[in-house]
Chain A
Amino acid sequence: MESNFNTYLKEKAGVSADQFDRMKSKLLTKTIEKGQLILKSDQVCKHTFFVEKGLLRFYSIDEIGKEHLVQFAPENWFVSDRGSIYFNEPSAFFIDAIEETQVVMLDRNFIEFASEISPEFRNHNAFLLQNHIRMLQNRINLLIGASAEQRYLAFIKLYPDLMLRVPQWMIASYLGITPESLSRVRKELAKKNFTKQ
């Protein structure tokens, strides 16, 4: 069966079957157990992870031990500490698996190699960086200015099935609100939208 990564590169980036065949031998795939860390803070991040199947999270831990969830990465998402990779500096973040996860691991060599083989890959890689910045800007804007309900509505639009896959406290952490506030938001929405039959 064609991997999700292959389908992704074909459909989203326009990489041809022939180009993919030439890249394939340099691709590294790995299964991450639930709970297993693939990046720890103070390590230099070497890879960008593409999620074939499963679910990763990217987070930090503050000085009192509280986790702050920056990004979820379900199927067909990329996740990495871009700063750590590019500037070759220790990461402030952790990445681990919420579910057993299959990842494709892309390092700097692969990205250079694939970009030489395929101009489409190179273009798409640039697009991904711009898209990442766009997402971060939106996220900063929501975190500093939006209500809990607006943040929740943006979350379910971006990650439709995660409410079914992830514990509430993790989603609250991603939204920057308490689990109680998340519960309140969902209760208010149910009041508005639930019509008892």
Chain B
Amino acid sequence: MTTKKIEVVIPPREPHFVGDGFRVHNFIPSAYRLDMQRMSPFIMLDYNSKFYFPPTDTPRGVGVHPHRGFETVTIAYKGKVAHHDSSGGGGIIGEGDVQWMTAASGVLHKEYHEENFSKQGGDFQMVQLWVNLPAKDKMSKPKYQAIENKNINRFILENKGGEIEVIAGEHKGINGAASTFTPVNMLNAKLNKGAKTDFSFPENHNSALLVIEGSIRVNEVEQVPTDHFVLFENDGESFTIEALENTVFLVLSGEPIQEPIAAQGPFVMNTKAEIIQAINDFNMGKFGFLED
């Protein structure tokens, strides 16, 4: 099997706030070489690196806003988020849980720090991804997959090297918890210091990883510190990772969706006309209603 080489290692950008509850570094689509087409089907990645929020009685977060044309995936590393949407979905996710919302034809939702977490304050660390949908599924019915950490299958490394949680797709024969519309692999790797492992994805997949905790060495040459993003080239199939300390990193790989992208704010469609339609539908209440 040929080696998938690193194309570029990207440091985190200056953080900005989404609402008042998410202090994020955006990687996709604003970082150099990480536009929506380059990392398709992953069209947005906001990373809330570990950040301490002091206690408050008014939960911080993002108020009601719409989405259409893609899925939002939230992976909680530290802290708790409560979520509600206009199709009646909702819930709370905490450390290790994943919330996979298929916005598709359209939902309104809001995301806030969970009440008790807000009252106590604490470290908060999350990844939010937007996964694009192919044209034929963009107007399908919204749905919601609440994936608790205990229901995520794991690949266990030998010699207490750690484990790889398979959120979606497949890894060494272990199947992912989430169902996806196009081929996507989403793996949460937790390796102990000194552990070595490898990952293998089809050549044409867009592949990347984000170091959440600790530091790693990729392909035996490139050392990558915390909060850095690694984009891989599209030739070669496998890469190796060595944990230089106890580490957590998120691995993404997906088959690119070869369709035009028209994006504006919270809508990602194929044409400008579909964006205008989405804005109009939102204004006219066709996404439903959700109390602020």
Contacts and interface: CB of A to CB of B under 8 A. Distances in A.
B279 A189 contact: no
A190 B288 contact: yes
A156 B288 contact: no
27 contacts: A156-B283, A160-B276, A160-B280, A160-B283, A161-B264, A163-B282, A163-B283, A164-B265, A164-B282, A168-B292, A183-B291, A183-B292, A186-B285, A186-B289, A188-B285, A190-B287, A190-B288, A191-B289, A192-B285, A193-B284, A193-B285, A194-B285, A194-B287, A194-B289, A195-B286, A196-B87, A197-B141
B280 to A, nearest CB: 7
B265 A191 contact: no
Contacts of A188: 285
A196 B105 CA distance: 11
B104 to A, nearest CB: 9
Interface string B120-134: 000000000000000
Contacts of B288: 190, 194, 196
B266 interface: yes
Contacts of B94: none
Interface in B229-281: 264-266, 276, 279-280
B108 to A, nearest CB: 9
Interface string A161-196: 101110010000000000000010011111111111
Contacts of A196: 87, 288
Contact of B142 (A160, A195, A197): A197
A193 B106 CA distance: 13
A189 B141 CA distance: 21
B279 to A, nearest CB: 5
A165 B279 CA distance: 11
Q: What is the interface of chain A mostly: helix, strand, loop, or mixed?
A: helix
Most chain A CB atoms below 10 A, which of B141, B276, B289: B289
Contacts of A168: 292
A53 to B, nearest CB: 14
A160 B288 CA distance: 18
Interface in A30-75: none
Nearest to A192: B285
A117 B266 CA distance: 43
Contacts of B283: 156, 160, 163
Nearest to A156: B283
B177 to A, nearest CB: 24
B266 A164 contact: yes
Nearest to B286: A193
Nearest to B275: A161
A126 B225 CA distance: 61
Interface in B95-147: 105, 141-142
A149 to B, nearest CB: 11
A74 B187 CA distance: 42
A194 B105 CA distance: 12
A196 B285 CA distance: 12
B62 to A, nearest CB: 12
Contacts of B282: 163-164
B14 to A, nearest CB: 14
Q: Which 6 A-B pairs give the minimum distances between C-beta atoms?
A: A190-B285, A189-B285, A190-B289, A156-B283, A197-B141, A194-B288
Contacts of A164: 65-66, 265-266, 279, 282
B127 to A, nearest CB: 24
B115 to A, nearest CB: 23
Contacts of A197: 105, 141-142
Contacts of B276: 160
A187 B265 contact: no
Contacts of B291: 183
Contacts of B87: 196
A52 to B, nearest CB: 18
A163 B105 CA distance: 19
